[in-house]
Structure 1
């Protein structure tokens, strides 16, 4: 109860342990996982833990103010390879599972990531970023001082750009290096470069017989102009590369079946551009035939849940059963994610689904059981064993002390009918210390994407606003995942249309049904697409008394040329490029309607945001300020589009405090 527990604060993000990447040991008696937290130096650190299934305490396998991840067991379970930043860059290290110090395996100049063992344990395959003339046998890791000197020299040189895809929000400005596949011979301690094409290669799997490597890449001459990601096999004996897909789609999460006769993967062919639901494919290696197991489904495969406390990667499938007659995977459906299985005849079955967020899993072929990573709206994360009997047994008690101390509000699930009778799902959080008979200010939260999903997961920002005394409403308007192909496609070429009326219908619904909301104190906020929609809302209605727009889009004309995705996203979402119809793009731009804005607006933006660049916020600020509107602009140094989820901890806290400050001042 709130009277016995304190309210959540912005600084509480530093108190959370975030679990990810559960991995069964080869014998199925134990598992490893990654725990990520913010340390006393205000930096992220992540460590590997080992835990027996019999309930013993977890044993830390790594220590220090560094990031460790991607633990992979050798087939005999005697060693584990993982990546760690302990030497300065992500490099590969090997640890004996019976104890002892980890040994550094790679000393690559630009680091090494994503290791995987061959099925016989003779090789480790991984990704490394290389220049075209790099020699993998003579790689030398730079010291911290050498890297600093190189970076300082680089800053003094002009950047020469001759590619369309010359930057990304994740990496910043690109160079000529490419992700290549490297094979490490464990016995002879020898490195062999497997790929060399002028493109990035993504390792997927190695065949059970050790003869073929499965990878994704775009090897077309026009790769710089395409978003294609094909699937290939590389024959390790002959070095021959075979293309498995047809150059029309994007494929990922591929794996060989236990016998090596088949390959499963996820992907699609952009039928609805970025709003296309993923499909589950199986390739027969002998015949080359491709079968779509998900052809008759209408749900998104994988985890599309939005949250702000998910750090680290986890397996979401597809994963083969030991008899290779079934595949296991996570899917996104109606505000939740769950674990599913499908036979090779496309018979679909739900193995586990509840009002929560399954963010990862591991499968044990010995017991036919699973370890599930689960988050709920009131608990950031825990691991559970899903046994063959369908019994769910909790394995961890993460953040127990923290959750005993703070009040976390349970959301109420809503079903709202939109103007055209479309049903919209949403959730309502009551404020901390709620009292019947009182009136409370209200905040509408709008997610980004737009093709993503709010749902049954822990969300610190939403809980913080409730803790500050606001009624919080968050919904999945049309364009969101989780409700089928037609629904997720419904906002394309209609931004500010049906999606806008969905949100306004949701606000009308809660005002009509919850008398404790003060209709004269309404606030709105959102990030990315949610920032666009915040801008759109306040330029089309004055019913909100305060707004905070985050990493937003205000002008689609300039977005086309400045965003790392603008050159294709504009066409995908609006049906046209800049020169096709500039007037129509201007019609979709909130900046066009700036003179209508009467709502006090706070603009939050990261200086290094390449997805929705800071000039989008700057244009809006200058325009509104020039018209003497009530507006403020906060620019976060060293922050990209991921500020709210994985940005620098001190900047994340500053951001949350600015949001709360603005709403406190105007609501």
Structure 2
């Protein structure tokens, strides 16, 4: 058993990073081929944790994902239980702990199906055969049925009709898509005429899986939808304690998203099917609280769900609500301190205690609350990094809590959390071999005050750091905006790979970030770019003032998504940066409103529709500042990005070329909002590294000086 106190881990890593003779600089191959450990799923008795490990390769066909088991007490090493190259996901235990369900595409499967593995021995057997594929399995309490979801053609009622509709669509001679409502696109694909549905398969008698929502009034509503936003509709569904019905979260007003906020209600549908019963909201609630992430207490007397209140604000932090079951009378509503967003959570047997994760100043803590009594209190706090994907079994007053632990210098590994002594037991070490010998400096936290706000930042030093030298500064801005930089291992914008060529990297949680609670995150309502950018610039000033090793004459800034928006705003408002990097960044808020897959929240943030040309539309739109564009810029885009469509990148590129700003455009035709493919990721990091090296590592490099008449802000 390996027991590591979080503070000792940080010290050990810092010590190893201070030994340049044995340490080396991280490469893209180190990052990309690092094993990826997924969140664990505990057995019903809490003694075992099931999880998957992916061994990635640049050729995706050569990557593999397998299922592993590890004892939660750490006394025995992990053991691999699947060896198929098809890859597994969506793990679920039977209530007796003897079977494990998972999703895989094996043999001649055309779509992913649910398989069940008997842990007493034998091969996994396929239990679903649905043309549209199956995912998110869950055993019924008695183990006789399996719940799963699938996206099926709208109007289908059984497998015969599903197969007929799928075949018809494949054989169409035209490629036209027709729409009569909003939204029409989602993340990186056009929305198809499909719906996410809840299915139940009889594991004892077999037969065709039943679509519990087929033919219901709910499924015919134009606004019926699951949780979207990432390219696929999802429904989170759980068995009711008696196994005779299913509770799930779904929307009935998604079609209003062009002119109104939408929300998800909780619903209950009988095992035999029939019209679902709405458990939250009323017909008059066009903009009610939104519910999801449902679970029951062990004794079945309480139902818990995450709830996001509906206010005039775009961002509202998630709370936790407890209902009496089956009356659905609300018995408690739990808020984290400063109304920080509650993440994953675990409920005890009686439903009167709950443990949950929250983000605090770049870290993830675990809090404990007693329903209906007192304020939540700190339960486990790491000295570095954070506790992720909290899960567990809590049958008594001493819960088994597990999840993932990671930090900026340690990739995610399965861990069990020991609250009393504020430590964690590391249960896996899959990344240790690749991590060994890498020169990775832990992040350093600092604060500064700006415009009435206390702003948190982190600093990452480059490999082979020498405090007597001067290093350039790369200011990296996060997306969202309602996200945060955290002391974590990152694949798409890895702090240490960006610092590898000799840059200090600055990571600032500007106003709008979620690290300081709801009010701080809401502070950008009506101030989408100017205020956060000011936080960024003053954080760079604070970092330079604090550290003599930062060369304030050599600065670049960059980011992706909202971070790219900020980079484009900096282009028109300051000349302090030698270069900029803008990935998936909008330059024209007006064009973004009309072409993105999200519309209403942008309008609400700006204080009114674009055609009214309110002050924010007129004063915080980067394209209107194009006369000031001077800073050399690397512009990158995924052509399949529908969240920030490429038209914004092309418009930015045209403005840069029109203003004769030295710039470089890199387009990935096969990528979406994120650069996800191995070789594309390697090329992207090479482009960013080369761009920064050109403008930061050459002392003679200068940018054209703006005229004194330019209204630039330093």
- TM-score, normalized by the shorter chain, greater than 0.5: yes
After superposition, what is the alpha-carbon deviation per residue over 1:121-145, rounded to whole angstroms, capped at 9, x for unaligned? 1111110111234344448889xxx
Contact 1:371 1:386 in 2 (8 A): yes
SS at match of 1:11: helix
**Aligned pairs (5 A) from 1:534-573:** 534-565=567-598, 567-573=599-605
| Alignment correspondent of 2:229 | none
| Alignment correspondent of 2:456 | 425
Candidates 549, 553, 563, aligned match of 1:530: 563
Per the normalisation by structure 1, the TM-score is 0.91
**Aligned pairs (5 A) from 1:148-547:** 156-169=174-187, 172-190=189-207, 191-196=209-214, 197-198=219-220, 199-201=224-226, 202-220=235-253, 226-236=261-271, 239-246=274-281, 247=285, 248-295=288-335, 297-303=337-343, 316-317=344-345, 319-347=346-374, 348-354=376-382, 355-365=384-394, 368-387=399-418, 389-390=420-421, 392-418=424-450, 420-460=451-491, 461-547=494-580
Contact 2:182 2:255 in 1 (8 A): no
The 3 A distance-change label for structure 1 pair 274 and 88 is: farther
| Alignment correspondent of 1:31 | 49
SS at match of 2:683: helix
| Alignment correspondent of 1:79 | 99
Q: Which range moves more in the overlay, 50-59 or 392-401?
A: 50-59
Q: Which range moves more in the overlay, 57-66 or 384-393?
A: 384-393
Structure 2: distance between partners of 1:346 and 1:331: 19
The 3 A distance-change label for structure 1 pair 583 and 385 is: closer
The 3 A distance-change label for structure 1 pair 273 and 138 is: same
Structure 2: distance between partners of 1:60 and 1:285: 39
Contact 1:384 1:396 in 2 (8 A): yes
| Alignment correspondent of 2:704 | none
Contact 2:471 2:502 in 1 (8 A): yes
Q: Which range moves more in the overlay, 71-80 or 59-68?
A: 59-68
Displacement of 1:260 after TM fit? 2.6
Structure 1: distance between partners of 2:489 and 2:437: 16
Structure 1: distance between partners of 2:53 and 2:431: 11
Structure 2: distance between partners of 1:154 and 1:415: 59
Pairwise CA RMSD: 2.4
Structure 2: distance between partners of 1:204 and 1:340: 25
| Alignment correspondent of 1:69 | 89
Contact 1:326 1:343 in 2 (8 A): yes
Task: Show structure 2 runs of 5+ residues with no match.
Answer: 1-18, 227-234, 697-714
| Alignment correspondent of 1:653 | 682
Displacement of 1:181 after TM fit? 0.4
Structure 1: distance between partners of 2:267 and 2:607: 31
| Alignment correspondent of 1:312 | none
Contact 2:131 2:159 in 1 (8 A): no
Structure 2: distance between partners of 1:326 and 1:514: 45
Displacement of 1:482 after TM fit? 1.8
| Alignment correspondent of 2:40 | 22
Q: Which range moves more in the overlay, 594-603 or 261-270?
A: 261-270
| Alignment correspondent of 2:27 | 9
Candidates 692, 702, 708, aligned match of 1:663: 692
Contact 1:216 1:251 in 2 (8 A): yes
SS at match of 1:275: coil
Structure 2: distance between partners of 1:280 and 1:489: 19
The 3 A distance-change label for structure 1 pair 161 and 436 is: same
Displacement of 1:64 after TM fit? 4.0
Contact 1:530 1:552 in 2 (8 A): yes
| Alignment correspondent of 1:111 | 133
Q: Which range moves more in the overlay, 630-639 or 195-204?
A: 195-204
Structure 2: distance between partners of 1:665 and 1:323: 61
Displacement of 1:563 after TM fit? 0.5
The 3 A distance-change label for structure 1 pair 445 and 54 is: closer
| Alignment correspondent of 1:306 | none
Candidates 608, 612, 616, aligned match of 1:576: 608
SS at match of 1:500: helix
Contact 1:373 1:383 in 2 (8 A): yes
Contact 1:447 1:527 in 2 (8 A): yes
Contact 1:20 1:360 in 2 (8 A): no
Displacement of 1:57 after TM fit? 2.9
Aligned residues: 643
After superposition, what is the alpha-carbon deviation per residue over 1:63-119, rounded to whole angstroms, capped at 9, x for unaligned? 344331111111112211111133342211111112322111222222111111111
Contact 2:111 2:132 in 1 (8 A): yes
Displacement of 1:25 after TM fit? 1.9
The 3 A distance-change label for structure 1 pair 267 and 209 is: same
Q: Which range moves more in the overlay, 193-202 or 372-381?
A: 193-202
Contact 1:563 1:612 in 2 (8 A): yes
The 3 A distance-change label for structure 1 pair 533 and 473 is: same
After superposition, what is the alpha-carbon deviation per residue over 1:627-665, rounded to whole angstroms, capped at 9, x for unaligned? 21111111012111132xxx1111111111111011111
Q: Which range moves more in the overlay, 406-415 or 603-612?
A: 406-415
| Alignment correspondent of 2:231 | none
Displacement of 1:519 after TM fit? 1.7
Structure 2: distance between partners of 1:628 and 1:283: 61
Displacement of 1:342 after TM fit? 1.4
Displacement of 1:155 after TM fit? 8.9
After superposition, what is the alpha-carbon deviation per residue over 1:7-46, rounded to whole angstroms, capped at 9, x for unaligned? 0122323221121221222233221112123136245543
| Alignment correspondent of 1:611 | 643
Structure 2: distance between partners of 1:502 and 1:613: 27
Task: Show structure 1 runs of 5+ residues with no match.
Answer: 304-315
